[in-house]
Chain A
Amino acid sequence: MEQKYKGEFAEFWKRYRRNRLAVVGLALIGLYVILALGADLLYSYDFITGNQIPNAFSGIASFAEVEDGGTVRRHLYLLGADNFGRDVAGRIIHGARVSLIIGFVTVAFAVVIGGSLGAVAGYYGRRLETVIMRGADILLAIPNILFALAIVAALGPSFRNLLLAIGITSLPVYVRLVRASVMTVKDQEYVEAARAQGASDFRIILIHIIPNCMAPVIVQATLGIAQSILSAASLSFLGLGIQPPSPEWGNMLSEARSYIISAPHTLIFPGLAIMTVILAYNLIGDGLRDALDPKLKR
């Protein structure tokens, strides 16, 4: 089976590569991942969270004396400094660790759990569907931020609880989406054919239905990643997400809000970081959707 999988992956990559923009998206995410992994080598964590108040609001590409790990050295503020004189570039790179993980983990959680619930509801219908869908409706009825707030407040602010809170609030969208797609696909004749061959319900859902419902889910997921990063930022802003002085793109934005006129670079660069990551995920999503559809193969 291993051999076959490799062959399928090579085929998939060949198709994915054809979409230039999707490759650009993948390269962008790759770049952020590499930067995030190497963040400690570029900037020490103590330096980007510590106080450098004399250098507050240093401009883009300016040099200044800084204290780093007990020694004083000249430092290049590539993207300027914020209100505490901390390096914006360094904080973005360290913040990438948090933001990339939040975006990916919460959406993966929501797609897997929400998707499974939606698939079961759509496939079996009847009472099970009623229970699952009313549950999803209840989640939808509570404002996202309020609900996430409640979860974090109840469980205490920690990174894991933040992921859980955002993951749960983004669940119902996928439940509804997957249920709707499953309902249109499950009456197709090829599903009946699978049943006639003796396939189990589990196999029918996993092998025959889900792959044919993925297109809208992939699109929604790439948008959802952006949503998650922003939700995390809102929670951080309210003091229930990533706690300052830890860098996170959302809380960088909220801190920089007050200086939008006097030091726009403190706001623009974290904003650009969020924007490019979201754009990259969207491009990847489009590429994935096309590459997974055999009809668009040639």
Chain B
Amino acid sequence: MSDILSVRGLKKYFNTPHGMLHAVDGLSLDIEEGSTLGMVGESGCGKTTAGRAILRLAEPSAGTITFDGEDVLAKTGKDLRKLREKMQIIFQDPYSSLNPRMSISRLIAEPLIIHRRYARKADLENRVKELMDTVELTMRLYNSYPHELDGGRRQRIGIARALALDPKFIVCDEPVSALDVSVQAQILNLMQDLQERLSLTYLFVTHDMSVVRHISDKIVVMYLGQVVEKAPSDVLFEEQLHPYTKALIAAIPSPMPGSMEKPKILKGELKSPIEPKPGCRFAPRCVHARKVCTEADPDLRELRPGRFVACCRAEEIL
């Protein structure tokens, strides 16, 4: 399969009173059609901003985005709105992402109305019912309002809305992190079913390592706006090439108390993304850091087939 989305050198800077905030700093990634790319990293590492920049909900500062052979950044006005039919997003918070004054049916119908998909009202209603059925929402809720529903059902509305225009690609911005664990599983399974049935491509943004392992084909690990490691999902959980990834995996809570000696890799806290110093962003927190780490930005290089890492000392510290 070919890549449906290619991002090269994507940057998103924000102007703050204290200087330029490098939220996303030279992100490059490719997603194969019909696959799921997991994007993980701790809070504030720029993963959400990256997702939004790809959809141009936040205007990128630099870089190129190619979607389905089209240059996303060259689109304006009508063309951009047309493109949005093919690229959708599912939001993290199912409470604030639904307009409180719209009924469930209206929320799901809204994208169809915007793009004038149906001339007849009956056709529109049928499509909305079909979508509600697709995401397993009961018809009883057709005229309900979001505040009457629980988080799981609300997130199903968010999914139905994203699917309404038959998109090819969906950015999932932590779609389950606001939900109970039992509901998380339902929503994740639903999303996987939908991916198979509708041959969707996902960019799955999350900070939850077990979720990302469950759903992703490949994973990119982000740290302060940059990709530090990229590998197929199963391989990444077997062996990590970057010390930061090691720390992330080691931080997954274990069901057996004391069963694992946790290696000490991290020190200190997340550094500020405002005007970062050159060199490896992770170096100030890395126990393996040497002088060479702070001299220049490490490139993402293919250390093993299909496995990329941005660490100067990856070979030595393995």
Is chain A's interface secondary structure helix, strand, loop, or mixed overall? Answer: helix
User: Closest Cβ of chain A: how far from B13's Cβ, in Å?
Assistant: 18
* A198 in contact with B99 (CB, 8 Å): no
Which of B82, B84, B110 counts the most chain A CB atoms within 10 A?
B110
Question: What are 28 of the A-B contact pairs (CB < 8 Å)?
Answer: A1-B121, A188-B96, A189-B96, A190-B96, A192-B52, A193-B89, A193-B97, A193-B99, A193-B161, A196-B55, A196-B57, A197-B88, A197-B111, A197-B165, A198-B82, A198-B111, A198-B115, A200-B81, A208-B99, A211-B101, A212-B99, A212-B100, A293-B101, A294-B101, A294-B145, A294-B147, A295-B147, A297-B145
What per-residue 1/0 map shows which CB atoms of B97-120 lie under 8 Å from chain A? Answer: 111110100000011001100000
Are A4 and B110 closer than 8 Å at their CB atoms? no
| A-B contacts besides A3-B121, A212-B100, 12 pairs, CB < 8 Å | A4-B121, A189-B96, A189-B97, A192-B52, A194-B99, A196-B88, A197-B84, A197-B88, A199-B114, A292-B101, A294-B101, A295-B147
Complex CA–CA separation, A125 to B215 (angstroms):
40
Render A281-298 as a binary contact track against B, CB cut-off 8 A, 1 for contact: 000000000001111010
Q: Which residues of A contact B99 (CB under 8 A)?
A: 190, 193-194, 208, 212
Once the chains are docked, how many angstroms separate the CA of A253 from the CA of B242?
Answer: 84
Q: Are A197 and B161 in contact (CB under 8 A)?
A: yes
Q: A195 at the A/B interface (Cβ < 8 Å)?
A: yes
In angstroms, Cα B72 to Cα A217, docked, is: 39
Q: Indicate whether A203 reaches chain B with its CB closer than 8 angstroms.
A: yes
* Chain A, range 114-134, C-beta contacts under 8 Å to B: none
The answer, yes or no, to whether B282 is at the interface (CB within 8 Å) is: no
Across-interface contacts of B165 in A (CB, < 8 A): 197
**CB-CB nearest 4 A-B residue pairs:** A198-B81, A198-B84, A189-B97, A197-B111
B100 touches A197 (CB 8 A): no
Q: Which residues of chain A are within 8 angstroms of B93 by Cβ–Cβ distance?
A: 189
Q: Knowing A196-B57, A197-B161, A212-B100 are in contact, say whether A189-B145 is a contact too (CB < 8 A).
A: no
Q: Which residues of B contact A200 (CB under 8 A)?
A: 81
Residues of B within 8 A of A203 (CB): 114
A295:B55 contact, CB within 8 angstroms: no
Minimal beta-carbon separation of A169 from chain B (angstroms): 31
Residue B217, interface by CB 8 Å? no
What residue in chain B is nearest A294 (Cβ atoms)?
B145
Q: Chain A residues near B32 (CB, 8 Å)?
A: none
Say if the beta carbon of B85 comes within 8 Å of chain A: yes
Smallest CB-CB separation from A209: which chain B residue? B99
- Contacts A198-B84, A198-B85, A297-B145: A193 and B101 contacting too (C-beta < 8 A)? no
- A294 surroundings in chain B (CB, below 8 A): 100-101, 103, 145, 147
Also in contact, A194 and B110, with CB within 8 A (given A212-B100, A294-B101, A295-B100): yes
Tell me if B91 is interfacial: C-beta within 8 Å of chain A. yes
B91 touches A189 (CB 8 A): yes
CA distance A195 to B96 in the complex (A): 15
**In the bound complex, do residue A190 and residue B98 qualify as a contact, i.e. CB atoms below 8 Å apart?**
yes
B32 CB, nearest partner CB in chain A, Å? 23
Classify chain B's interface size. Answer: 20 to 34
Q: Which residue from chain A places its CB closest to the CB of B87 in the assembled complex? A: A196
Taken together as a complex, chains A and B put the C-alpha atoms of A199 and B84 apart, in Å, by: 9
Q: Would you give the shortest CB distance from B109 to chain A, in whole angstroms?
A: 11
- Assess the B98–A196 pair: CB atoms within 8 A: no
Q: Which residue of A lies closest to B93 (CB)?
A: A189
Contacts of B147 in A (CB 8 A): 294-295
Closest partner residue, chain A, to B85 (CB atom): A198
Contact B57 A198 (CB under 8 A): no
Taking A198-B81, A200-B81, A211-B101 as contacts, is the C-beta distance between A192 and B57 under 8 angstroms? yes
Residue of A nearest to B52 (CB): A192
Query: Do residues B145 and A198 form an inter-chain contact, with CB atoms below 8 A?
Result: no
Q: Which of A244-298 contact B (CB under 8 A)?
A: 292-295, 297
Q: How far is the CB of B157 from chain A (nearest CB, A)?
A: 11
User: 1/0 per position for B113-151, CB-CB distance to A under 8 A?
Assistant: 011000001000000000000000000000001010000
Contact A197 B114 (CB under 8 A): yes
State in angstroms the CA–CA spacing of A254 and B52 once bound together. 62
Least distance between B219 CB and chain A CB atoms (Å): 24
* B3-23 to A contact mask, C-beta < 8 Å, 1/0: 000000000000000000000
Q: Which residues of A contact B98 (CB under 8 A)?
A: 190, 193
In this complex, the member of B55, B82, B101, B110 whose beta carbon has the largest number of chain A beta carbons within 10 angstroms is B101
CA–CA, A96 and B274, complex, Å? 64
The residues of B that contact A196 with a CB separation of less than 8 Å are: 55, 57, 84, 88-89
A3, B125: Cα distance in complex, Å: 13
B101's partner among A192, A194, A212 (CB-CB below 8 A) is A212
How many angstroms from the CA of A3 to the CA of B121 in the assembled complex? 10
Q: How far is the CB of B135 from chain A (nearest CB, A)?
A: 16
Residue of B nearest to A190 (CB): B99
Give the distance to chain B from A25, nearest Cβ to Cβ, in Å. Answer: 23
What residues of A have a CB within 8 angstroms of the CB of B84 in the complex?
A: 196-198
Q: What 0/1 readout, one digit per residue, does chain B (75-87) give for beta carbons within 8 Å of chain A?
A: 0000011101100
0 or 1 for each of A179-222: is its CB under 8 Å from B? (1 = yes): 00000000011101111111110010000100110000000000
Question: In the docked arrangement, what's the CA distance between A197 and B80, Å?
Answer: 10
Q: How far is the CB of B143 from chain A (nearest CB, A)?
A: 9
